[in-house]
Amino acid sequence: MRRRLLLGVAAILIAVQFVPVNRGNPPVTGEISAPPQVQAVFERSCYDCHSNETRWPWYSRVAPVSWLVAHDVEEAREHLNFSEWRAYSTEKQRKLREEVWEEVEEGEMPRWFYTPLHPEAALDQRDQELLRLWSGQAEAAPPTVLHE
């Protein structure tokens, strides 16, 4: 009985590998234009979910994990897609900039389950400060006075 159960589970695990999952990367239609340091943070920490330039890791090819990964990327792209940034209105871009900082400040991004497998995506204080400044959440710096 136990052997039949194990064989049944193995058969199911093998069968689900054939369920198709969309791991496509649509074309980039309007890449975000950000300062190079900010762009580097986005590419390292955000692009795998929030762009059309996802690097699909090995585990994204193993069901049922592949279903979760594809679903998370699809939802992330719907909410914010750096590859389609220019399609957003100026007001939407402003709101998204604020939301980016809000998510980072609250520790929601990158997601807690992403960074153990992708430690390079973790945001240090410098990264966070860059994103805070980019988002427009920094207070205006006083004007610089040049002495001659």
Domain-by-domain residue ranges, the chain? 2-135
pLDDT at 144 over 70: no
Task: Give per-residue pLDDT as tens, 87-121.
Answer: 999 999 999 999 999 999 999 999 999 999 999 99
For the CA atoms of 126, 130, 136, 137, the dihedral, rounded to the nearest 10 degrees, stands at -10
Between vectors from CA 77 to CA 73 and to CA 82, what angle results, nearest 5°? 125
pLDDT at 140 over 70: no
CA-based end-to-end distance of the chain: 90
Helices (H) and strands (E) in the chain, counts: 6, 0
The closest alpha carbon to 45, from 136, 102, 121, 130, belongs to 121
Amino acid 139: pLDDT: 55
Task: Give per-residue pLDDT as tens, 16-74.
Answer: 677 778 888 999 999 999 999 999 999 999 999 999 999 999 999 999 999 999 999 99
- pTM for this one? 0.82
Q: What type of residue is 5?
A: L
Q: What type of residue is 2?
A: R
